[in-house]
Structure 1
Amino acid sequence: MVPPLAIALSTTFFKDRWTEDERNAGLVNYIMGLSFISEGAIPFAANDPIHVIPSCVIGSAIAGGLSVAFNCQLRAPHGGVFVIATVSNWPMYLVSIAIGAVVGCLILSTLKKNK
Structure 2
Amino acid sequence: MTIDTVTTIELGSGEAVRPHWPEGTASPDWTETEWRAFANPAGTLFGGSWEGEPGTLLLDPYPYDEICVMVSGRVALEDLAGDRKEFGPGQVFHVPKGFRGTWITLEPSKKFFFASTA
* TM-score (normalizing by structure 2): 0.24
* TM-score (normalizing by structure 1): 0.24
Query: Going by fraction, where is helix more abundant, 1 or 2?
Result: 1
Query: Going by fraction, where is strand more abundant, 1 or 2?
Result: 2
